[in-house]
Chain A
Amino acid sequence: MTVWYATALILSIAVFAVVLYFARRSATYQDLDRRIQSEADLTAGILAESYHARGTLVEKDTAGRPVLTADVAAVLEVVPDYLLVTSRDGRLLFASPDARALTFAEFEQLNLITRPPAASGPQLPGQVRIEPNGPTLHYIVRAVPDAGDQFGAIFAGANTQSAELRLEQLLLTLLIAFFVGVVPAILVGGWIAARALEPIDRMITEVREITDGRSLHRRLPVPMERDELSRLAETLNQMMTRLERSFAALRRFTADASHELKTPLTVVRAGVERAITRPDVPSETLAPLEETLQEVNRMTELLDSLLTLARADEGRTELHREPVDLREILEEARETGELLAEHAGVGMEIRLPPEPVVVSVDRSRLRQLALNLIENAVKYTPRGGQVSVELGSHDGRAVFTVADTGIGIAPGDLAHVFDRFWRADSARTRTSERAGTGLGLAICKWIAEAHGGTIEVQSRPGRGTTFTVGLPRG
């Protein structure tokens, strides 16, 4: 932000300086134009006046060259800058002291320019640089119409050095102003910006703390001054109130839905269970009852998973934590894993370290996590494959991995495996397998993260997949 302000400031000052420079420059040159114009006009006036008073104004000097009569020349002598007067046939009649100070070669260049103009209209000023190192002159050439036929042209020129000098001074002044003005402006601007943004920074931190899910009842302090900041704080507070309300509604809905859906499930289950456990039921009646019971359990599982995730979204983690040796959990899961693997024709290996790996966890959730990952690995590994489970410690974390030699996951799908209801291409799973709820890995992710841990997946299609769970110890 400060950088943007500084850039804008520098740019505007630069534009200002450039505009000022060019305006000054053009004004200076106009001054110069006016000066040489009036010098030329003055000379023409003097010549015309003298002509009317005395007639001829040209005489011969001692060498026989035509020159302006001495008294007129004396009058013109006081005109500053470069002034030349020529006769109609192009011979020099008068040169001002500045012009006489030039070397012969330089003087010749002026003489060349001083030709009688074609028309007697107003002349445009020109600029010439006297070579090789003479002055650059701004000049004008004009005719002398009212002085008989003795005069050809008047050349009036002024050195542009004086004008350029003034422009250079202006440029220097601007440059100084630039550094004296801009550098402190940037420093002060940065300080002001930091001061102005500091309350916003604080607000951002507080909003983050509040919206992490557990402190939604808290509100931002509203500053006393009625400015944009206090309005922002009020707006955010209103938003949080609405959020809190909708979370409360969700909580109520979750409770209601769980009750409303589970009561009928209980009723169905009760009926089926009574019928199925009656001693004299023929087996053709038992089969559909068994199917119904299976579906009731499936729905119950789905409902529980959904409710668990809904509560997790609210940021409520419900864990019954106690110190547990993870080896026990995997040891308990071992037999189930081996049975699943045996059924699928897959090898199962569980490697546990000799020393305990004690972590503060919710035992039943960890068991669920381990079994879900193992079941998942077996499900996506073809007959003859291998599933390896390993537990260890790494950098003060308990790490357990479930690796399979199964079909793997396409790179594009890796990002989605923990999404709810996400399923790999169903054609690739064994068709004889009962489909899962599609929530298994989402639940795994929740369990790992609720314990402050992580879950990661690496996979190569056709080679296999490895899930890695890391849990903080201590």
Chain B
Amino acid sequence: MKILVVEDDKTVGDYVRRGLDEAGYHVDLVGDGDEGLRRASGRGANYDIMVLDLRLPKLSGIDVLRTLRDRGLGLPVLVLTAQDSVDFKVQALRMGADDYVTKPFAFEELLARVEALGRRPKAIAPPVLHVNGLVLDTGSREVKRDGKPIELTPKEYAVLEYLMRHQSRVMSRTLITEYAWDYHFDPGTNIVDVVITRLRKKIDQSKEPKLIHTVRGVGYVVRA
């Protein structure tokens, strides 16, 4: 699947390209609106998704979008915008954008939206996660340890799912918070500690081996 990224900031562009590259996409990066429009609508263009920054040199993102749609091209477009304002997003959507991500964005969010636009099955997340007897079914949202069902609240489930999905990797409290909580509300990272305490009671208490581990000053990791 081929993605065209139009972003004038080199660091952000490189970051998006590398990230999508690692997720298995073929990515081309261009730095201005003119070039982006030429590559997207030129002869032999075969991109499946366009990631478009709205503020670009030469031709603005909105103009690229309008021209694309005027030419009758239905290429799905994911807009990157710095403006967290409803009317601006509405304007972008009216101009024919399919979705948007607000800067600064968590890469995970960008990836999720690209996946949704590409209508690819979420292969990265296996439907059932296993860590040494702990089983989490992302389809039915059921959690079991050693065959015994465990009742979790929505936030407990979200935190555990995130840690199990990235098992054996230290996940920072900020990343965990971002995943489990709404973007508009930052509850502070202390709240993660409370959730972890609860999870430990339900999952690790009087069980061996312990699966949830603390990394001081950083966050948590789930590993056997």
Interface-forming stretch among A178-186, A293-301, A461-469?
A: A293-301
**Interchain CB contact under 8 A, A290 and B172:** yes
Given A266-B9, A339-B194, A273:B188 Cβ within 8 A = no
In the complex, whether A31 has a CB less than 8 A from a CB of chain B is no
Q: With A and B bound together, what is the CA distance between A304 and B19 in angstroms?
A: 26
- Total CB contacts across the A-B interface at under 8 A: 137
User: For residue A335, which residues in chain B have a CB less than 8 angstroms away from its CB?
Assistant: 153-155
User: For residue A258, which residues in chain B have a CB less than 8 angstroms away from its CB?
Assistant: 82-84
User: For residue A304, which residues in chain B have a CB less than 8 angstroms away from its CB?
Assistant: 84, 184
Q: How far is the CB of B131 from chain A (nearest CB, A)?
A: 16
In the complex, whether A210 has a CB less than 8 A from a CB of chain B is no
**Interchain CB contact under 8 A, B103 and A343:** no
Given A273-B107, A367-B184, A262:B172 Cβ within 8 A = no
Given A290-B217, A301-B186, A320-B86, A343:B191 Cβ within 8 A = yes
User: For residue A273, which residues in chain B have a CB less than 8 angstroms away from its CB?
Assistant: 106-107, 175
**Interchain CB contact under 8 A, A267 and B12:** yes
Given A266-B104, A276-B172, A286-B215, A343:B83 Cβ within 8 A = no
Given A262-B104, A263-B103, A342-B194, A336:B187 Cβ within 8 A = yes
**Interchain CB contact under 8 A, A262 and B82:** yes
**Interchain CB contact under 8 A, A434 and B175:** no
Q: With A and B bound together, what is the CA distance between A268 and B12 in angstroms?
A: 9
Contact of A263 among B9, B84, B194 (CB under 8 A): B9
User: For residue A296, which residues in chain B have a CB less than 8 angstroms away from its CB?
Assistant: 104
Scan B190-219; emit 1 where CB is below 8 A from any A CB, else 0. Answer: 110111000000000000000000011111
In the complex, whether A208 has a CB less than 8 A from a CB of chain B is no
Scan B130-169; emit 1 where CB is below 8 A from any A CB, else 0. Answer: 0000000000000000000000011100000000001011
In the complex, whether A170 has a CB less than 8 A from a CB of chain B is no
In the complex, whether A287 has a CB less than 8 A from a CB of chain B is yes
Q: How far is the CB of B218 from chain A (nearest CB, A)?
A: 4
| Cβ-closest chain A residue relative to B85 | A318
Contact of B190 among A269, A283, A308, A343 (CB under 8 A): A343
In the complex, whether A442 has a CB less than 8 A from a CB of chain B is no
Scan B3-21; emit 1 where CB is below 8 A from any A CB, else 0. Answer: 0000001011001101100
**Interchain CB contact under 8 A, B84 and A270:** no
User: For residue A286, which residues in chain B have a CB less than 8 angstroms away from its CB?
Assistant: 170, 172, 215, 217-219
Residues of A in contact, count (CB < 8 Å): 53
Q: How far is the CB of A184 from chain B (nearest CB, A)?
A: 60
Q: With A and B bound together, what is the CA distance between A307 and B84 in angstroms?
A: 8
Q: With A and B bound together, what is the CA distance between A434 and B177 in angstroms?
A: 15
Q: With A and B bound together, what is the CA distance between A340 and B172 in angstroms?
A: 19
Q: With A and B bound together, what is the CA distance between A365 and B85 in angstroms?
A: 12
Q: With A and B bound together, what is the CA distance between A293 and B173 in angstroms?
A: 10
Interface-forming stretch among A222-230, A368-376, A411-419?
A: A368-376
**Interchain CB contact under 8 A, A287 and B87:** no
In the complex, whether A121 has a CB less than 8 A from a CB of chain B is no
**Interchain CB contact under 8 A, A289 and B86:** no
Q: How far is the CB of B93 from chain A (nearest CB, A)?
A: 11
Counting chain B CB atoms within 10 Å of each CB, the highest count among A265, A318, A434 belongs to: A318
Q: How far is the CB of A437 from chain B (nearest CB, A)?
A: 9
In the complex, whether A132 has a CB less than 8 A from a CB of chain B is no
- Name 19 A/B residue pairs within 8 A (Cβ), A-sorted: A259-B82, A262-B104, A263-B9, A265-B104, A266-B82, A267-B15, A290-B217, A290-B218, A294-B189, A304-B84, A320-B86, A339-B195, A367-B182, A367-B184, A368-B184, A371-B187, A375-B187, A433-B188, A434-B190
Interface of B toward A, CB cutoff 8 Å = 9, 11-12, 15-16, 18-19, 55, 82-87, 103-107, 153-155, 166, 168-170, 172-175, 178, 181-182, 184-191, 193-195, 215-219
Interface of A toward B, CB cutoff 8 Å = 255, 258-259, 262-263, 265-271, 273-274, 276-277, 279, 281, 283, 286-287, 289-290, 293-294, 296-298, 300-301, 304, 307-308, 311, 316, 318-320, 335-336, 339-340, 342-343, 364-365, 367-368, 371-372, 375, 433-434
Given A273-B107, A367-B185, 7 new contacts (CB under 8 A):
A259-B83, A262-B82, A265-B103, A267-B11, A335-B155, A339-B155, A368-B185
